Amino acid sequence: MGVAAIATLATFLVRSRWEVGSKAEWVAGLGALSAVVVALWQTIRIQKQAAEDAQEAATRLRQELDAATDRMNTQLQQTRELHAAELDSARALARVQRIHLWEQEQKQAITQVVRAMHQFSDTVPELWQMAVDISALPTREERGRAFRPIDKKIGQAAKKFSIEADMAALIIDDPQVLDTLRDLGLALESTVVQTLAVREKVEAGQTPNIPQLMAQQEAMFRAATSALHTASIRLRTGLDA
């Protein structure tokens, strides 16, 4: 529009009779002015285009930054979720391993109790049988001295059983198994009491009725063994379920 105005003005000057300098000078001046106006217009247009391009570039950069931030946040969230899942899996595995170890400890404890019980029940009759020969010794002092090793061996076997039973009671939480362990402890105490009675008779020079004592002791431990076997099966079944 500026160029058209200048062209109109130039036409007017050429056709008019206004004598202010030569027409050639005015035309040259108008040409120069037109060149300046065109250059100015091009500059403004270039600057406007540059501003639009800069704004578009800034918008595109902002969109890319937002997209990058979203991707980073998504990746971070996925990493957190993966880490949490791995922690949960590790905790679950550790819990299963602890339970398995605890189960194995309970089974091992029962095995140790059974072994100690059999050792005790096998030791007592053998030692009681020796008491028959001891009772034939001539003096009370000799009989008491000869019976001391029997006391010692029975005491050692009873102590080993008590230790194993107490250790098992600390690990096992099944009420039936614990009741069986207590019954076994009572059977052991009864056998120790019977051993003291045997010693008193031996020291007095009397021959104890060993077959009767052995039958009582065998029946008692047979019942205890059966109860422990049942309890151990219950324990294994409960742990393996």
CATH assignment at residue 234: 1.20.120
Highest mean pLDDT among 14-18, 51-55, 137-141, 212-216: 137-141
Tens digit of each residue's pLDDT (9 = 90 or more) over 11-36: 554 555 545 456 566 666 666 777 77
Closest CA to 159 of 107, 217, 119: 119
Whether 197 maps to a domain, the answer reads yes
Q: Which residue has the higher pLDDT, 92 or 192?
A: 92
* pLDDT reading at 241 higher than 50: no
Task: Report, as an integer, the average pLDDT of 49-59.
Answer: 82
Tens digit of each residue's pLDDT (9 = 90 or more) over 35-51: 777 777 778 888 888 87
- Residue 146 has φ and ψ, to the nearest 5°, of -70, -25
Handedness of CA 89, 94, 95, 96 (dihedral sign): positive
Whether 11 maps to a domain, the answer reads no
Q: How many domains does the chain have?
A: 1
Tokens of 118: 């059999």
Whether 44 maps to a domain, the answer reads no
Residue 116's domain comprises 102-240
